[in-house]
Amino acid sequence: MSQVYSEDSIRTLDWKEHIRKRPGMYIGKLGDGTSPDDGIYVLLKEVVDNSIDEFMMGYGNKIEINVSDELVSVRDYGRGIPLGKVKDVVSRMNTGAKYDSKVFKKSVGLNGVGVKAVNALSTSFTVQAFRDGERKEVRFAQGNVEFESEIEPTEEGNGSWVSFKPDVTIFKNYHYISEFVENLIKNYCYLNSGLTIVYNGEKFQSKHGLLDLLNDSLDTPCLYPPIHVTDGDIEIALTHTNQYGEDYFSFVNGQHTTHGGTHLTAYKESIVKTLREFYKKDFDASDIRASIVAAISIKVEEPIFESQTKTKLGSKDVGPEGPSVRNFVVNFVNKELDNYLHKHADVAEVLLRRIQESERERKAISGIKKLAKQRAKKVSLHNKKLRDCRVHLNSTKKDASESSIFITEGDSASGSITKSRNVNTQAVFSLRGKPLNSFGLTKKVVYENEEFNLLQAALNIENGIEELRYNKVIIATDADVDGMHIRLLLITFFLQFFPELIKQGHLYILQTPLFRVRNKKKTFYCYSDEERLDAIKEIGKSPEITRFKGLGEISPDEFKNFIGDQMRLDPVILKKAESIRELLSFYMGKNTPDRQQFIIENLYVEKDEIE
């Protein structure tokens, strides 16, 4: 029977209902905090962006940020929201000063939506404005006003204070990961010299902008001092290392455009164009950009982003009569990089040698690459090694935002995950035995080793991670010694040849329960001894306790609980202070006395018996 379509079918949602019903339209994906682009970080960013815009306009050089899973607060010392508009600014759509380009010429947020989304998606949201010796406070719950104060005197300095708690009915099982918050804060500082951000009591500052960013990001020695040039609305920095991969950081109006866009594409093109012209040789673009670490920041009036979360810049003119973003970037880089190399012959010589080394390595493995691709076709990758998800099987569109892939070992574990997965968004890649320890080997091994060759093909990362087919690459192995070893070998592979996969937050470890505690009425899946003891107390008398020793022992019906909405993932995070080379050398190199002592000091015996 068909539905009746009449006037009664038409509904008009108010602003908060629409945001809560369609949160993805406003903050991208939801997530639980294990990915740096999950919604809880977008909420924080939307609030901080307003404080950054105040600083960029010349008001307030300090921002205080406190973050816990219970409450997030941001205090700036800008001008403060006009007291008569405090409630409207955080609860009335299309309300804000950023529509007036004279007040906020090149701001991060322009559409008057961001902080309203934070309000609607929080169980508690409080805003206070301090302005010229007066204050006003408004408190909300899920976007509804709970309390509104009168305008009253205060001794607080000018500025705004916002606190919120993400709604647990929307952001389920969420938790903030401090490294992700720190990266966000550091980027704000790199782009705003003179700004001080105090995060949970720790002070962050930057004096040299993108030069500081590059120096802090380098985990291996650079071949030449980073080239750093800035001029008004554009700033660039770049260097090369001996590490595989390409590493880029791009920003527009202080916004970290993690998915790049027009400005980053132009930057890459202009580096290649300039170096070809400087050396008067038509080098392959991949040889020029191999091992590069580079950053670009531009300021644009009323930028056009491809989504509300502002992670990718679309095409946009710099001004009504100015050049396009592409031409603006290309012309600047071409002029400044060429000038720099002419003035610094020593740098030009080192860079030329690096390009030539990349060229020699690429040519040395070109024949192997051809054979490897043929081999991948012969083993019928998509039928035997990779069970792909429908988002890729049914479409040529390379959108990895909602897809993930489990890398697992053994037929039983692969079978359980394959039968339990969401076939629309989750793929499975099956390893055969333990991978090779790739530490110290050249990229030649990626093509010579069948497992690595097929894994690279499945992820589509041969030419870098721009075409990565899955947003989350999840290592799913048993929680025993062999499983841990496989994890280390896979992490070594990615760190050695595709470090940007980890640096950009795509690699995860799947956590599966160690115990099942149940009776006839309740079942608890426990990921630690502590959770097991809590479950026993909850159930009471005579619980049935099962110790899971491998992924293959868990039935597909049960496995659905562990890779669905309640899936627990540990992101693999590389801290800035850690050197990839030193990490790999210590854990995966020769069995040195230092490592032997480390193993002895950290050795423990796991109890399989449950009392």
Q: How far apart are CA 177 and CA 49, in angstroms?
A: 19
Beta partners for 129? 136, 160
Write phi, then psi, for 455 (nearest 5 degrees): -65, -45
- Are the C-beta atoms of 48 and 63 separated by less than 8 Å? yes
Adjacent-strand bridge partners of 122 = 166
Long-range CB contacts (within 8 A, 24+) of 337-342: 337/227, 337/229, 337/236, 337/270, 337/271, 337/274, 337/275, 337/278, 338/274, 338/277, 338/278, 340/227, 340/229, 341/278, 342/278
The tokens for 367 are 């024949």
130, 509, 582, 597, 598 from 602: Cα distances, Å: 52, 21, 19, 9, 6
What's the pLDDT at 377? 65
Question: What pLDDT, on the 0 to 100 scale, is given for residue 578?
Answer: 61
Residue pair 41/175 in contact (Cβ under 8 Å)? The answer is no
Residue 71: half-sphere exposure toward Cβ, Cα within 13 Å = 9
- pLDDT for the residue numbered 467: 83
DSSP 261: B
User: How far apart are alpha carbons 194 and 190 in whole angstroms?
Assistant: 10
Class of domain 210-363: alpha beta
Residue 430 contacts residue 414 (beta carbons within 8 Å)? yes
- pLDDT exceeds cutoff 90 at 561: no
Q: What local confidence, expressed as pLDDT, does residue 483 receive?
A: 86
Cα angle 476, 480, 453 (rounded to 5 degrees) comes to 40
Task: Find residue 73's DSSP bridge partners.
Answer: 66, 163
* CA–CA separation, 341 and 321 (whole Å): 31
| Residue 494 parent element (H or E) | helix 481-497
Q: Which two tokens stand for residue 356?
A: 């030539």
Which pLDDT score, from 0 to 100, does residue 142 have?
92
pLDDT bucket at 45, cuts 50 / 70 / 90: very high
The yes-or-no verdict on residue 247 having pLDDT over 80 is: yes
Report the SS3 class of residue 473.
strand
Among 538, 521, 373, 550, smallest CA distance to 460 is for 373
Mean pLDDT of 70-89: 93
Q: Give residues with Cβ within 8 angstroms of 575, minimum separation 6.
A: 179
Q: Is the pLDDT of residue 3 over 70?
A: no
Decide whether 16-204 matches 210-363 in CATH topology: no
16-204: CATH topology: Heat Shock Protein 90 (3.30.565)
Contact between residue 26 and residue 43 where contact means Cβ atoms under 8 Å apart: no
pLDDT digits (tens, 9 = 90+) for 415-457: 888 888 999 999 999 988 889 988 888 888 888 888 898 899 8
Name the residue among 161, 152, 89, 164 with its Cα closest to residue 121. 164
Percent of the chain with pLDDT over 70: 84
pLDDT digits (tens, 9 = 90+) for 292-306: 999 999 988 777 766
Close Cβ partners of 128 (under 8 Å, ≥ 6 residues apart):
135, 136, 137, 160, 161, 162
Q: Across-strand partners of 63?
A: 76, 197
Choose among 184, 246, 23: nearest CA to 114: 23
Give the residues across from 222 on adjacent strands: 241
> Quick one: how far is CA 528 from the chain centroid?
27
Cα separation of 118 and 90, whole Å?
A: 9
Go through the chain and tell me how many residues it has.
611
Give me the mean pLDDT over the 518-531 stretch.
Answer: 89
Q: Is the dihedral of CA 496, 502, 507, 509 positive or negative?
A: positive
Bridge partner residues of 145 (DSSP): 140
Interval 361-411: pLDDT, tens = 888 888 787 777 776 666 555 456 888 888 766 554 445 677 899 999 877
| Predicted local distance difference test score (pLDDT) of residue 368 | 83
**Looking up tokens 């854990």, which residue turns up?**
587
- Look up residue 39 and give its amino acid: G
**Radius of gyration over alpha carbons of the chain, in Å?**
26
Higher pLDDT, 580 or 408: 408
- Torsions phi, psi for 74 (to 5 deg): -135, 125
Task: Name the 3-class secondary structure at 1.
Answer: coil
Please tell me the distance from the alpha carbon of residue 433 to that of residue 430, in angstroms, as a whole number: 9
In this prediction, residue 603 carries a pLDDT of 59
Which residue did the predictor score with more confidence, 306 or 272? 272
Answer yes or no: are the C-beta atoms of 368 and 447 closer than 8 Å.
yes
CB 460 within 8 A of CB 467: yes
Question: Looking at domain 366-512+550-602, which of 3.40.50.740, 3.40.50.720, 3.40.50.670, 3.40.50.2300 is its CATH number?
Answer: 3.40.50.670
Helical H segments across 280-365, by residue range: 285-289, 325-343, 345-364
Q: What CA–CA distance (Å, rounded) separates 76 from 85?
A: 18
Measured in whole angstroms, the distance separating CA 245 from the mean position of its chain's CA atoms is 17
Q: What is the pLDDT of residue 5?
A: 46
Beta-carbon neighbour count of residue 546 at 10 Å?
15
Q: Where are the domains of the chain?
A: 16-204, 210-363, 366-512+550-602, 515-547
Rounded-to-integer distance, Cα 573 and Cα 263, Å? 27
Is-contact 470 427, C-beta < 8 A? Answer: yes
Residue-wise pLDDT for 495-505, tens only, equals 989 988 998 88
Backbone angles phi, psi at 120, to 5 degrees: -65, -30
